[in-house]
Chains A and B, each alone.
Chain A
Amino acid sequence: MSASTIDPLDNVLEQPVDSKYVFRSKKGLNEDIIREISARKQEPSWMLEKRLASYDIFRKKPVPTWGPDLSALNFDEIIFYIRPEDYKAMKWEDVPDAIKKTYDALGIPEAEKKYLAGLVAQYESEAVYTNLKKAWDSKGVLFTDMDSAVKEHPDLVKEYFMTKCVPAADNKFAALHGAVWSGGSFVYVPKGVKVDIPLQTYFRMNTKSSGQFEHTLIIVEPGAEVHYIEGCTAPRYSVSSLHSAVVEIFVKDNARARYTTIQNWSTDVYNLNTKRAIVYENGIMEWVGGSMGSGVTMLYPASILRGKGARAEHLNIAFAGKGQYKDTGAKVILAAPDTSASIISKSISKDGGKSVYRGLVRIGSNATGAKAHVECQSLMLDDKSSVDTIPIIEQLTPQSSVGHEATVGKIDEEQLFYLMSRGISRDDAVALVVRGFIEPIAKELPMGYAVELNRLIQLEMKGA
């Protein structure tokens, strides 16, 4: 990565050799590393085979060229697996000041800071988690880290893990993920069980979650309901510059799932994810996402509406600041009658940041009575920034309806004048307008998240 694109955070991997970092994990990828990952995790052989098969696909597939420029992404320079003992080699002093300042501004507790900064793999268990776990256990709800699930629930994992939702062959990064995945969550909600308290990864930061290639698998059986919340608003610092998570969600008949995430990786990171849900009859899938950090982000949560009457709702906020390229959007395949989808995407670009909405809505030939609505709005805070909208709509049956609205606008100087005439500084006025702009989505976030997001935006406006 060139230095110009990663300001203000330097990629520690490119720091001179006299850096305090003594980093022992090998860069690059080969079969030995994959075998090592699997062995260290003491995985059953079927998982190792899956990894190796994925690696095979990864090598054969080209890097996608239809989106952001990924030519600077050098797989030989990336650390694919961080050994637990390597965490000990990293020190708080090595975390860039910019990140530390943001933690302080957000009022993040000491123990958590270290976890967020990637200094510790584990985070002290909270009493609240233990209590919640009891409640989940009694209802048969499974919520564990993905590594444990492989050993404890092999039948479920074998059936659903990168098989019918996101197979390794889906794209190069999914294949890479299949080879080197580590950590993430496994959620299983039995038939008819409604989990009323959102499941948050935050609750189980005590378990291993390297963050880099997390795999999340959520199975919601018929009539069940769950809300899963991933990540947190504080920036996460990482020694690796590539993140490629996979999320697979199964929403069975009459079930309902909501997946909420706010991602805020440090700005030297390529964040290339594959997130997808398959929704069966009358099921409801809701994606609520905010993408704050990262250098290059490619993220298009997908809903495949396979059952009659299935519904998908996508809410997305992308923020592109200096040196950032956000290529985000949504993909919805309406493949059954009376399915419906609503996509609302909002992007903000500032200081030369670029944000692109890329969306696909496909209404299949048998999806009579299907309805889809796409709304994307972009807000540019200055002349240096740019936005683009690439909405693709394929309507294969005329007995369906699609609506699309796109608005691109610069921040309204008259609005700022009005706010400033009440004594509000320009920076705060801009922050207020931006917060108002994302409010329709932010109000869908859990309380604490919305508050943190607002504070984060305020910090971004001040150029912190």
Chain B
Amino acid sequence: MSLLEIKNLHVEIEGKKIIKGLDLTINPYEVHALMGPNGSGKSTLSYTIMGHPKYKVTDGDILYNGESILNLGVDERARKGIFLGFQYPMEVSGVSVENFLRTAVEAKEKKDVPILAFHKALNKRVEAMSIPQSFLDRYLNEGFSGGEKKRNEILQMAVLLPKFAVLDEIDSGLDIDALRLVSEGINKLIKEDRLSLLLITHYQRILDYIKPQFVHIMVDGKVVKSGGYELAQQLDKMGYEWVKEE
């Protein structure tokens, strides 16, 4: 059975049609890349998978492990193992990264998590990811640089261990070293925790680190072309015009 199956998806926001009949199937332990010009609807797709209330599904379905998730709340989807790495992570003032992560783990485990034990485990985790420990005491994304925000998304993913993640431009804003570190972190989750992935990106570079089995190109709310890794290389050289023209 496929892990995620999107069938003939139509999505509107404030009456405006953004996704217009999109199909996409992701099987367990697969890595898919989704590319496409600005405004083609990639982030809209990621929000819709996560269940953002503003994005209205007008037709089609999203199945996760064979069951429709359209009627599930955002938090329920997350607790089923779906994760979204945001293109623009939100800032939440006054809430430390650690406190936030503990609350999230408590929600997932449906029980209180001892503060001290969690603190120790989390410290190990950030050390393994070469993230400074001071990160944990800072307020969630507040005053974080673009790259720090992205690394924080990956930290959250590494703590929550989802089964399926959409990472929306996780590579944008990262310097060369950070891109390598983030990619290593993601690869570890793919290998050790058998994470399945939909990787939204504009650049081939991250795909050199995280090799996708499938590459899809989205234009104007639809997947217009799918292929293997070579499709990304082609795009890098030729841009989107040739796809649009086809």
Give the B-binding residues of A (Cβ under 8 A). 412-415, 417-426, 428-429, 432-433, 435-440
Interface centre among B92, B99, B108, B140 (most CB of A within 10 A): B92
A422 touches B107 (CB 8 A): yes
| Of B72-80, B176-184, B231-239, the one touching chain A | B72-80
Are A432 and B74 interface neighbours, CB within 8 A?
no
The answer to whether A436 and B92 touch across the interface, beta carbons within 8 angstroms, is yes
Identity of the chain B residue whose Cβ is nearest the Cβ of A426 in the assembled complex: B75
* B93 adjacent to A423 (CB under 8 Å): no
Residue on B nearest A418 in the bound complex, by CB? B90
Shortest Cβ distance from A416 into B: residue: B74
Q: Which residue of B lies closest to A422 (CB)?
A: B104
Known: A421-B50, A424-B103, A425-B107. A432 touches B75 (CB 8 A): no
Judge whether B84 is part of the interface by a CB distance below 8 angstroms: yes
Q: Is the CB of A418 within 8 A of B104?
A: no
Contacting A at CB under 8 A, from B140-166, are: 140, 156, 160
A418 touches B103 (CB 8 A): no
CA distance A425 to B77 in the complex (A): 11
Assess whether B160 is in contact with A422, with CB atoms less than 8 Å apart: yes
- Determine if B78 and A415 form an interchain contact, defined as CB atoms under 8 angstroms apart: no
**Besides the known contacts A422-B160, A432-B99, 12 further A-B residue pairs in the complex with CB atoms under 8 A apart:** A417-B74, A418-B89, A419-B100, A419-B104, A420-B73, A421-B74, A422-B156, A423-B79, A424-B103, A433-B95, A436-B92, A439-B93
Give chain A nearest CB distance to B176 CB in angstroms: 28
CB contacts under 8 Å to A, within B81-138, are: 83-84, 86, 89-95, 99-100, 103-104, 107-108
Quick check: B107 and A415 within 8 Å, CB to CB? no
Q: A417-B52, A432-B103 are in contact. Are A425 and B75 (CB under 8 A)?
A: yes
Q: Does B203 contact A (CB under 8 A)?
A: no
Contact A414/B90 with A433-B95, A435-B95 known, Cβ cut-off 8 Å? yes
Q: Which 8 A-B pairs have the closest CB atoms?
A: A436-B94, A439-B94, A423-B78, A436-B95, A418-B90, A422-B104, A420-B74, A423-B107
Please give, as numbers and ranges, the residues of chain B lying within 8 Å of A417 by CB-CB distance.
50, 52-53, 74, 90
Given A432-B103, A436-B139, check contact A421 B95 (CB 8 Å): no
Cα–Cα distance between A15 and B93 once the two chains are bound (Å): 45
Cβ-defined contact, B89 with A428, below 8 A: no
Q: Are B75 and A423 in touch, CB under 8 angstroms?
A: yes
> How many whole Å from A193's CB to the nearest CB in chain B?
35
Shortest distance from the beta carbon of B160 to any chain A beta carbon, whole Å: 6
- Complex CA–CA separation, A426 to B156 (angstroms): 18
Q: Is A418 touching B75 in the complex (CB atoms < 8 A)?
A: no
The reply to whether A433 and B92 contact each other, CB–CB distance below 8 Å, is yes
**Complex Cα spacing A438 to B93, Å:** 9
A423 touches B108 (CB 8 A): yes
Q: Which B residues are CB-close (under 8 A) to A413?
A: 53
Complex interface: chain B residues within 8 A of A418 (CB): 86, 89-90, 92
Which residues on B sit within 8 Å (CB–CB) of A425? 75, 107
Q: Considering only CB atoms, which chain B residue lies closest to A442 in the complex?
A: B94
A422 to B53, CA, bound (A): 15
Q: Which of B10-65 contact A (CB under 8 A)?
A: 50, 52-53
Nearest chain A CB to B97's CB is how many angstroms away? Answer: 12
Q: What are 9 A-B interface contacts by the 8 Å CB criterion?
A: A415-B90, A417-B50, A418-B92, A421-B86, A422-B156, A422-B160, A424-B107, A432-B103, A436-B140
CB distance from B51 to the nearest CB of A (A): 8
* Contacting residues, chain B, for A424 (C-beta < 8 A): 75, 78, 103-104, 107
Interchain CB contact (< 8 A) of A432 among B84, B95, B108: B95
Nearest B residue to A433 by beta-carbon distance?
B92
Residues of B contacting A422 in the complex (Cβ-Cβ under 8 angstroms) = 78, 83, 100, 104, 107, 156, 160
Q: How close is A437's CB to chain B, nearest CB, in angstroms?
A: 6
How far is B139's CA from A124's CA once the two chains are assembled, in angstroms?
42
A439: which B residues are within 8 A, CB to CB?
93-95, 139
Taken together as a complex, chains A and B put the C-alpha atoms of A426 and B79 apart, in Å, by: 13
Contact B92 A423 (CB under 8 A): no
Q: Determine the distance from Cα of A415 to Cα of B139 in the docked complex, in whole angstroms.
A: 13
Docked pose: A428 CA to B140 CA in angstroms: 16
B74 touches A428 (CB 8 A): no
Least CB distance, B105 to chain A, in whole angstroms: 8
In the complex, residue of chain A having the shortest beta-carbon distance to the beta carbon of B142 = A436
Assess the A428–B92 pair: CB atoms within 8 A.
no
